[in-house]
């Protein structure tokens, strides 16, 4: 309890440093801690889907994504950028305490095909090390190369499985919640891994409809590890 209070004060302190007025009322930075039970999903005979979120944590949108997932009791996997870790400890702690999975999206978000094997190794290790500073004993299990671009040097540099996706929600280019919703609902099937970005309002808007719709259509939104336990064929 004591630790929570201290963390809470640090979070609020961080927010006060941000200049108000730069953001609209819906886009105010929000890194409050939510005091709530973890989401638990036991995969049963229903279809499974893995919602994955790249490039966060984001001070404007990640908590909104977490709240939507919580409301519908859906689990997800967050491919975090190492350079975002130190500034968004509250959000990372919320992801873990809600029951979501964290994974490695490298430190600087460089195109890995432009780097040497050693540089790639460093991009991955530095992310793990930054996370250990704030969440000790959390080994990231999967790596996703920025832009989905990689070559043999990534396989040499990392012992972690490389996880891409089979459905691109195209939220990074569409800027349209309705279109994001439609793309996913048209393509989703048992075992799908869907990529989103928790860094924009269109994804948040899309998820408000998409998460309950997926559940109503018979899907359980689970972590990658839960999905891989059943869908070995998509394991890289
Ligand atoms: Ni990315």
Query: Can you give the three-state secondary structure of 20-88, one letter per residue?
Result: CCCCCHHHCCCCCCCCCCCCCCCCCCCEEEEEEEECCCCCCCHHHHHHHHHHCCCCEEEEECHHHCHHH
Question: Which of 54, 55, 98, 199 is labelled catalytic?
Answer: 54
Q: How much is the average pLDDT of 202-229?
A: 97
pLDDT for 223 beyond 60: yes
Of 11 and 199, more confident: 199
Nearest Cα residue to 147 out of 119, 117, 113, 181: 113
Residue 4, classed as helix, strand or coil, is helix
pLDDT for 18 beyond 90: no
- pLDDT value of residue 8: 56
Annotation marks residue 197 as catalytic: yes
Quick one: tokens of 38?
Answer: 């973890």
Q: Which domains does the chain have, with CATH numbers?
A: 1-33 (no CATH), 47-234 (3.20.20.370)
Q: What angle do CA 34, 71, 21 make, to 5 degrees?
A: 55
Quick one: tokens of 122?
Answer: 């460093």
Residue 143's region, left for phi above 0, alpha for psi from -120 to 50, else beta, is beta
Quick one: tokens of 29?
Answer: 């930075």
Of 28 and 61, more confident: 61
Q: How much is the average pLDDT of 84-94?
A: 97
Residue 167, classed as helix, strand or coil, is strand
| CA–centroid distance, residue 6 to ligand 1 (Å) | 32
- pLDDT value of residue 128: 98
| CA–centroid distance, residue 143 to ligand 1 (Å) | 11
Which pTM does this prediction carry?
Answer: 0.89
- pLDDT value of residue 19: 47
Instruction: Band the pLDDT of 167: cuts 50, 70, 90.
Output: very high
Contact partners, residue 151, CB within 8 Å, separation at least 6: 112, 113
Question: Across the strands, what pairs with 143?
Answer: 104, 162
| CA–centroid distance, residue 193 to ligand 1 (Å) | 15
Question: Which of 88, 197, 198, 199 is labelled catalytic?
Answer: 197
**Residue 142 vs residues 5, 104, 145, 200: alpha-carbon distances, Å:** 32, 6, 10, 24
Nearest Cα residue to 62 out of 37, 22, 90, 35: 90
Structure confidence by residue, pLDDT tens digits, 179-195: 999 999 999 999 999 99
Report the DSSP pairing between strands 47-54 and 167-168: unpaired
- pLDDT value of residue 114: 98
- pLDDT value of residue 26: 62
């Amino acid at each position: 309890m004591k630790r929570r209070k201290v963390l809470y004060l640090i979070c609020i302190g961080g927010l006060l440093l941000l200049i108000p007025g730069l953001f609209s009322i819906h886009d105010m930075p929000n890194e409050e801690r939510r005091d709530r039970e973890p989401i638990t999903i036991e995969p049963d005979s229903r279809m499974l889907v893995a919602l994955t979120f790249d490039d966060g944590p984001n001070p404007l949108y990640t908590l909104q994504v977490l709240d939507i997932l919580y409301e519908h009791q859906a689990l997800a996997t967050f491919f975090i950028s190492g350079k975002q870790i130190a500034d968004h400890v509250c959000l990372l702690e919320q992801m873990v305490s809600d029951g979501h999975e964290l994974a490695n999206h490298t430190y600087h978000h460089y195109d890995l095909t432009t780097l040497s094997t050693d540089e790639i190794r460093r991009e991955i290790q530095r992310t793990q090390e930054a996370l250990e500073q704030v969440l000790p004993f959390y080994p990231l299990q999967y790596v996703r190369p920025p832009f989905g671009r990689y070559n043999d040097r990534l396989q040499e540099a990392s012992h972690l499985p490389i996880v891409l996706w089979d459905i691109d929600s195209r939220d990074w280019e569409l800027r349209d919640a309705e279109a994001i919703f439609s793309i996913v609902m048209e393509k989703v099937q048992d075992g799908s891994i869907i990529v989103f970005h928790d860094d924009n309002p269109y994804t948040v808007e899309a998820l408000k409809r998409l998460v309950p719709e997926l559940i109503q259509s018979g899907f359980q939104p689970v972590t990658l590890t839960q999905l891989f336990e059943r869908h070995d064929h998509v394991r890289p």
